[in-house]
Structure 1
Amino acid sequence: MPIRAPRRFLPSLPLLAAFEAAARTGSITQAASELSLTQSAVSRQIKALEGQLGVELFVREKQKIRLTLGGQVYAREIRDALGKISNASLNLLANPAGGTLTLAVPPTFGARWLVPRVPRFLARHPQVSLNILSRLTQFDFRQDVIDAAIYFGAPQWTGVEMELLRGETVIPVCAPELAARHDFRAPADIRRAPLLHLTTRPDAWEHWMRRYGVDDRAVQGMLFDQFSTLFEAAAAGLGVALLPDFLFEEELREGRIVEALPLPHSGDEAYYLCWPGDRDAHRPLALFRDWLLEETADSR
């Protein structure tokens, strides 16, 4: 049986909301204005919270307040908890039947590969409400209000369920004008051109160079945080970029970018669908997982 927390450890939402607003704004006056309460009402709620917890959360200095060290930690965690409650309420309103799936995805993969396919999923499962959030950084199921995530990398997570979706092959691409100017013929010729890099894969060029026997020392160049901006930089003639071929097929077909050399590279990393074990029985997740594995069957 679950252990019920003592009442003193479960303060009411009005007390927590008053504390969070005062902690975030650093002002009783601003917190009162935000909550449409009087200053004395906010002060009483904070005092009531401190009395319930038996801990001082603020240091009072004349007309100012500042968080204690314990109050700083508590404010951060309460803010996260209130955010989760708010998101849960929004999800419920969006789909009262409870069929909501919130998914975190890499931005370019989500925009170019996943979203164009979502209508097929929704046509099959119209009862499911799908929320898609972009994530450049790694996700944390303990902190993020998400049911699942699509992750690119090695399957090194512990305590997380994972399904392989597809691998990835990158190719060196650039603007047609840059390719004509440098007249690439051998792998080593790449070092004569400016190289463009993705911040989340800082050693991608080194891997490519080692694959084709090119000196990989002192590789430099401009940095970009998303594939979409990396592509635009390559198309603008700023340099050569390593891009996943399956995400930029249309641009290659149209000639906005061209292969600097027909030398692809496939590493050990791949795209995975990940979810916490306690969400395994979540019906929308199960439906989405089955559909996604069908969509990626030919790529595995």
Structure 2
Amino acid sequence: MYQELPPLPWLRAFDASARLGNFTLAAEELGLTPSAVSYQVRGLEAALGHKLFIRKQKSLFLTRLGQAYLPVVSKAFGDIEATTSNLFGKSAAQEVTIRCLSSLNMLWLAPRLSNYHRLYPNGRLRLLSSLWSETPDAAQIDIDIRYGDGNWSDGEATRLLHHDVIAVCAPALHPGPDPRQIATRPLIEVLGVTDTWHHFFALHGLEPAASDPTLKVDQSLIALELASRGMGVALIARVFAQSYLDRGTLVEATDLTLPARQGHYLVQPNARNRFRPEVSAVKDWLLQEAATTAC
């Protein structure tokens, strides 16, 4: 029975090396020497009769067979870990690190954390905020919530939120029923987004504003705060503006909307084990919350 199953230490060495991209980091995770990890991976390749890695200097790249094998091996270890914990209570839930843009952290994620803790009272989360201009560093991130088109090569992406972009302003600054009057108000725009005032005016056949937006900011939260103080009309994702609309501090400046060309995605970096049971639970919870979010 299980005569064709390679030794588990060899599989563990392959899993860690594939996720982390080199033998040195895999060795640190497994408590071995790099040469021991390399020896185990070579043993696995010899047993299978196929190369799993392309070795270039100090980096490792999966072959096609390696790419097909890794999800199966990682999931198997995740299932074993989850079942062991559930049946024998071997360890408390491990911490899960989530990183996302500051505005999403404050305006969407934070208000929903009480729901998570009702479902998982022993769950431990570490929340990190990022700026749109930052280069992803996924070494310690279990779930990276990014804004874009979903095409990233460093991890597996799952769409979380896709929403319309709306124009909002303080009630006193409302331009009236004619959307053309929006161009007469100061305009607020978020840097780094693909859905701009230029696209809004062009989509609806409106005369564009005579000049660039009066205020440009790097976070949606700042744009919302400025708009709520009567500083202008902000073009913002509905998912961010909804709490301001509910409180009445902001209103929609027009019924016209701009369909977003990009959205928020859950990215699980290749350098981390996405099959850890606590990570899977957090991912499932985030997707459930997103399904009930009006966008």
Q: What TM-score range do you get, normalising by the shorter chain?
A: 0.5 to 0.7
Report the CA distance between 1:287 and its aligned residue: 0.7
Distance in 2, matches of 1:228 and 1:110, equals 10
User: Given that residues 147 and 276 in structure 1 are in contact (C-alpha distance below 8 angstroms), is that contact kept between their aligned partners in structure 2?
Assistant: yes
User: Given that residues 99 and 283 in structure 1 are in contact (C-alpha distance below 8 angstroms), is that contact kept between their aligned partners in structure 2?
Assistant: no
Distance in 1, matches of 2:186 and 2:139, equals 38
If asked which structure has higher relative contact order (CA below 8 Å, sep 6+), I would say 2
Aligned partner of 2:277 in structure 1 is: 283
Distance in 1, matches of 2:247 and 2:149, equals 33
How do 1:99-110 and structure 2 match up within 5 A? 99-110=94-105
Report the CA distance between 1:138 and its aligned residue: 5.5
Report the CA distance between 1:153 and its aligned residue: 1.5
Does 243-252 or 104-113 show the bigger shift?
243-252
Q: Which residue of the other structure, out of 241, 245, 248, is the alignment partner of 1:255?
A: 248
> Unmatched 5+ residue regions in structure 1?
11-95
Aligned partner of 1:154 in structure 2 is: 149
* TM-score with structure 1 setting the length: 0.62
Report percent identity of matched pairs.
Answer: 27
Matched, 1:178 2:170: no
Q: Deviations over 1:232-252 (max 9, x none)?
A: 211111111012223333422
Computing the radius of gyration from Cα coordinates, the structure with the larger value is: 1
The one-letter amino acid of 2:104's match is F
Q: Deviations over 1:137-189 (max 9, x none)?
A: 3665545531111112211211310111121122111122222xxx4443332
Distance in 2, matches of 1:141 and 1:261, equals 36
Runs of 4+ off more than 6 Å? none
> Unmatched 5+ residue regions in structure 2?
1-9, 14-21, 29-90
Q: How many residues align?
A: 208
Distance in 1, matches of 2:194 and 2:208, equals 13
* TM-score with structure 2 setting the length: 0.62
Report the CA distance between 1:295 and its aligned residue: 1.7
159 and 232 in structure 1: CA distance in 2 versus 1, 3 angstrom threshold: closer
Q: Which residue of the other structure, out of 160, 181, 194, is the alignment partner of 1:189?
A: 181
Distance in 2, matches of 1:169 and 1:130, equals 29
Distance in 1, matches of 2:287 and 2:194, equals 29
Aligned partner of 1:40 in structure 2 is: none
Aligned partner of 1:206 in structure 2 is: 198
